[in-house]
Amino acid sequence: MIELSGIEKRFGDAVILRDISMRLAPGSVTALVGPSGGGKSTLLRCINLLEIPTSGTVRLGQERLDFAPGKKIGWPAIQKIRRQTGMVFQNFQLFPHQTAIENVMEGLVTVLKWPRDKARARAMELLDKVGMREKADAWPSTLSGGQQQRVAIARALAPSPQVLLCDEPTSALDPELSAEVVDVLGRLAAEGTTMVMATHDLRLALRIANHVVFLEAGQVVEAGSAEAIFKASTHERTRQFVSSINAAQGL
């Protein structure tokens, strides 16, 4: 269970998120959509506390943190939340000096202190899951963007997080390579992986999300099923956005 209550995020006088509340069930896939600058990535990063909310409450599993202006949150409390999440970034962020399998092993060995043989077995299992077993010993520089993103997904899954967070996972890829990543995320969704993704890729959202939240100017404009938001939205601003993205993506 992920629950956000009254989340506000400010940078100085600028309000980036305003009074965001949502509850996400285990096994659900939620897509955060909306125009650039609407707050999608910031909201995603507030879930795992890469961005610290100015106020509000974050609950993930059994852990809960309450935020208020000027309130200091200790590192151990942040880590209890963060270790329940896996993060997939737009630009992969693989370590260039490590092979694919070493990238997947890194967090298990250095953070969780797993023995290297156990970590290697887990990493190979996950590389197999994302279709990258044959590239286990390849350097990131020799991999395509889609292959690098699949390794990044395996790395995020390594510690068995409660939720996988994806920040524009296909936006840096051309359509063919994007399809590889969509296939992997689709299989994970079918297996019951809880996911929250910020995305402009409506094909990705429509294929695998069962809940969509449309954000603009840091506020929730509309939320509902993917079918309802993309094909029968009730808010005019949502319809305008979906129409413009469909035109841009040739849908």
C-beta of residue 241 within 8 angstroms of C-beta of residue 34: yes
pLDDT value of position 191 = 92
Q: How many Å apart are CA 2 and CA 194, to the nearest integer?
A: 10
Consecutive 10-residue averages of pLDDT for the chain (251 residues): 94 93 93 92 95 96 93 93 93 94 96 96 96 96 94 95 93 82 92 93 86 94 90 87 71 54
pTM of the model: 0.92
Which pLDDT does position 250 carry in this prediction? Answer: 56
> According to the model, what pLDDT value does residue 147 have?
94
Query: Domains in the chain, please, with CATH?
Result: 2-84+162-249 (3.40.50.300), 94-160 (no CATH)
Residue type, 19: D
In 213-232, which positions are buried (b, 16+ CB within 10 angstroms) versus exposed (e)? Answer: bbbbebebbbbbebeebbee
Let me know: does 59 contact 84? Beta carbons within 8 Å. no
Position 125 scores a pLDDT of: 96
Calpha distance 101→95 (Å, rounded): 11
In angstroms, the Cα distances linking 73 to 19, 213, 240 are: 20, 28, 40
pLDDT at 247: 64
**Cβ–Cβ under 8 Å, residues 169 and 209:** no
Q: Which residues contact 196 (CB under 8 A, 6 or more apart)?
A: 2, 24, 29, 30, 32, 44, 47, 163, 164, 165, 166
- Cα 141 to its chain centre, rounded Å, is 24
